[in-house]
Chain A
Amino acid sequence: MIGGRRPLQGRKLGDRRVRVERPHSAYFRYTGRNQLVAKAAASVPATPAGRLVARIKAVALGRPLHSDEEAGERLSKKKALAIFSSDAISSSAYATEEIVLAFILVGAGGLAIGLALPVAIAIAVLLGVVAFSYRQVCIAYPTGGGSYSVSKENFGRLASLVAASALLIDYNLTAAVSTSSAVEQIASAFPALSDARVWIGVAALGLITLANLRGVREAGNIFAVPTYLFLFSALAMIAIGAYRILVLGEGNQPPPPEVVEATRVTAENVGIFILLRAFASGAVALTGTEAIATGVPAFQPPEPRNASRTLMTMAGILAVLFIGITYLATNFAIYPIEEPKQTVIAQVARTVYGDNVAFYAFQGFTALLLFLAANTSFAAFPRLAAVLAEDGFFPRQFSFRGDRLAFSMGIILLGIVAASLVVAAGGKTHALIPLYAVGVFIDFTISQAGMIRHWLRTREPGWRYRLAVNAVGCVATGVVAVVVTTVKFADGAWLVVVLIPILVALMLFVRREYDAQAAELHVRDDLVIAGPQRDERVIVPVNGINRAVIQAVIFGRSVADDVRAVFVTTDREEGDALRERWERQIPSVPLVIVESPYRALVGPVLAYLDVLDQAWPPDRPAPVTIVVLPEYVARHWWDRLLYNQTARRLKAALLGREHTVVADVPYRRTS
C-alpha cells in the first residue's frame, strides 16, 4: 500500500483498480466543502481511564444520543391533559390537608369541619379565574407562553427576571413538595416507613435525576397512565364517599360540645386571620396551572384551541377533586396525623375503600402521580435555565445538552437543591408549603400583567374583553400573592421574598460579565484582519540539556528568530558547566543563566521577562513573548506527581500576563 492506496488486479489483465483508504470515515463525515460532522467514535476518550469513565457513564446513563434523535412528538388532548396536568392535579393530594392544618395550628381544628369546604370552594373559584386568564395566554402565545417569555416581551428585563426567579424557585419546590408528599402517601399506607421518609425522598429524587439524565421523555405513554389511574380512582372515591354521606347518612358526626365551644372562642379571637391563613395554605392547589400555557407548541394543531380546552378541562377536574376530597374529609371529620404519618387523603381513601387492596392501590397511584409531578420540574427547570443561559443570564454550560440530549447541568442542580429541601424540611410537605405558594402567585401576577400590556399593545379583535379577563386574573392573583406572603411570612415565605432579588441580582451580574466579555472580544464587521503586527520572541526555561529541552528549543526556533533559553540555578558551578555544554551543543540559541541565591525558581523567570519588556524600545509595540515549556509526559496518572511541577507553577504564574503566550511542548516516552 502506498499512501493509503492499495492496487488490486481485476479478472482481466488490463482491469486494475486502486482501493483508496478513507482514514477520516471512522471519525467524520463530509457533508459539504470543508464541512465535517463528527461521528460517535470522534467523541470516544483517547486514554484508558477516560474510556473507563465513558463506559461507566454509558451503563448508568445510556449510550450518547445523536442530536437528530430528539423526540418531537405532538400530543393529543387526552395525552396532553395527563402529561401537563400531573403537577396541578397532584396538588389535590395535599391541598385539603394544608387547609385543615392551618386551622389546627392556631388551635381551631374544630373550625376545619365547617370552614374547610367554603375555603376550598373559594380557592376553586380563584382557580377558575386563573385558568380563564391563562386561556388567553394559550391564544396569544401559540409558541408557548411561560411567564418569563410573556413578561420579557411586555415588560423587559427586570420583570422577566423576577418571573424567572419565581419560576426557578417554584420548580425546585414542586420537585421537593411532590416528592415529600409522595413519600408521605407511601408512609400512610405502610407506617413502618414513616421514620425513613427523608431518605426515601432523597433516593426517589436521585432516581428521578438519573432517569432525566438518561433523557427520559415526558411525552411517553408511561407518564399518562399514572395521571388517569389516580384520576379515576379519586373520582370513584369521591362518588362512593358522597353516596355514603348523602344517601346512607354516614359521617356528619357533630363535634363534642367542648370542641365547639373552644373553636368558637378561638374563632372570635383570631377571626379573619384563620380564614386567610387557610386560604393561603390551600392555594397551593393552583400550582402547575400554568404548565399548559407554557407547553402550547406540544399540542396537535390547532394548538391554541386544543391547549385552551385542555386547560379548562384540567381546571374543572382539579376543582372537582379538590372540593370533593375536602367535602369527604370534613364530613368524615378527618384530621392529619403526624406520628405515624397519616395524610388526609390517605385517611379519606381508607375510610371510603376500607383497609384493602383498593386503598393500597389508590395510595400507590397517588404516590406515582406525585413522583410524576416532581418529574415535570425536571423537564421544566433545566429548559428554563437553558433559555436563561442562552439569554446570557445563567452560566453558558446550562444551555449545553449532555450525551443523552438532556440539559444535564440544570437536572443535576435541581436534583441537589430539591434533595436539600427535602432534608431541611425533614421530609414533611407541610414545612415546605409556606415557601411554595408565594413564588407561584408572584408568577401568575406578572404573567397576567404582561397579558394586559400585550392586549393594550396589539389591540387584536376582541382585545377589550380579553384585557378585562386578564385584568381580573391579575388583580385576583396579585391580592392572593400579597395575602400569601403576609400570612406565611413568618413561616418561611420571607425566604422566597429575600431569594428572588438575590437571584435577579445574580442573573444581572452574570449578564453584565458576559456583555463585558462580548464587548471586549467584539470584532468590527468591516475589519479585514492583516498579518501579525507585533514582533515575537521565544523564551525557553530549561533545566539542563535533555531531549525534552532540545525539542522545545527546536519548536521555539520554528516560531521566532529571537529565541533564548533561561536557566535558573542556585549553584554557580552548575550554571557554568551547563553554559560550556550549551555553547558547544546548541550554539545558535543564547543561554541566559539566572542565579537565584534565594532559591526561588518561578519568580526570577517572571522578573527576567519583566526586564526584557522594559528594555524593549518604547517606540515599537510590545512584542509577543512566547514562553515554551518543555514538558515530560507521564505514562501513568501517578507519574504526574513526579514531573512538571515547576512548569505547572510557572504556567499558573504566567496566566493573564500581558502579551504572553505559554506553549507546552510535550516529550513522550517511547519505552
Chain B
Amino acid sequence: MPEQHRPTFTRALLALNGGSSDAAVVRLVGELARPTRAALIGVHVVEIDWTLPLDSDVAGASEDAQRILDVAEGVAEESKQSLETVLLQARDVGAAIVDEAIERGVDLVVVGLPYRKRFGGDFAIGRTIPYVLKNAPCAVWVVRDPMPEEAS
C-alpha cells in the first residue's frame, strides 16, 4: 500500500471472537500499526447470560477464553508487535466493546465477522457488529471471513 494511502491510527481495539478471522485481524492491523507504532489492544468478551451474576467466575476459569487472547498475542509477536490483552464479561458484547473503546480512548475498532447464513439463506451479521457500527465514536473496520466455497 502506498504510504500516502496508508490509514493512520494511534491506538486500536481489536475485538477477538475466537474465530478464524482473529489471526487475520491481528496481522492486518499489526502491519498497519508498525510505521506509526500504534498501540494495539485485543479484547475478548465472554457473554454472561441472565441466569448468572455478571461478576461470576466464568471467563477467568475458562481456558478457552484465555487461549483466544494468548493466541492473538502470539500472532502479534510473530509480526513483531505487542498486543495488550483484555478479558471482559458482559451481558452484551457490542456494548462492552464500545465502552472499553471509549474508556481506552482508541481511534479505531476492528471487528472480525465470520461468513454465516441464517436459516433460510440470508447473510447473518449478528447483533454485535451493527451495535458497534452504530455506537462507536471512532472509526470501525469490519474484516469479514472469505465466503465458504459451498456458499459461493
Contact = CB atoms under 8 A, between A and B. Distances in A.
Contact of A31 (B54, B70, B86): B70
Contacts of A21: 60
A309 interface: no
B18 to A, nearest CB: 12
A272 to B, nearest CB: 66
Interface in B75-96: 85-92, 95-96
Given A22-B69, A29-B74, A30-B63, A15 B92 contact: yes
Given A2-B55, A5-B57, A16 B90 contact: yes
B22 interface: no
Interface residues of A, number: 26
A10 B66 contact: no
A4 interface: yes
Interface string A1-27: 011110110111011111111101100
Q: What band does the interface of chain B fall in when counting residues whose beta carbon is under 8 Å from A?
A: 20 to 34
Contacts of B69: 22, 25
B99 interface: yes
A17 B63 contact: no
B78 to A, nearest CB: 8
Contacts, number: 79
B122 interface: no
A47 B63 CA distance: 30
A283 to B, nearest CB: 50
Interface string B26-52: 000000000000000000011000000
B55 A7 contact: yes
A32 B67 CA distance: 7
A388 B87 CA distance: 47
B93 to A, nearest CB: 10
B125 interface: no
A11 B60 contact: no
A326 to B, nearest CB: 53
Contacts of A24: 66
9 contacts: A3-B60, A5-B57, A7-B55, A15-B90, A19-B86, A20-B87, A25-B85, A30-B67, A31-B70
Given A3-B57, A17-B95, A25-B70, 20 more contacts: A7-B54, A10-B99, A11-B98, A12-B95, A15-B95, A15-B99, A17-B54, A17-B88, A17-B100, A18-B88, A18-B90, A19-B87, A19-B88, A20-B60, A22-B69, A22-B87, A29-B70, A30-B63, A30-B66, A30-B70
Give 6 closest A-B pairs by Cβ, nearest first: A10-B99, A17-B90, A30-B67, A29-B70, A15-B95, A18-B89
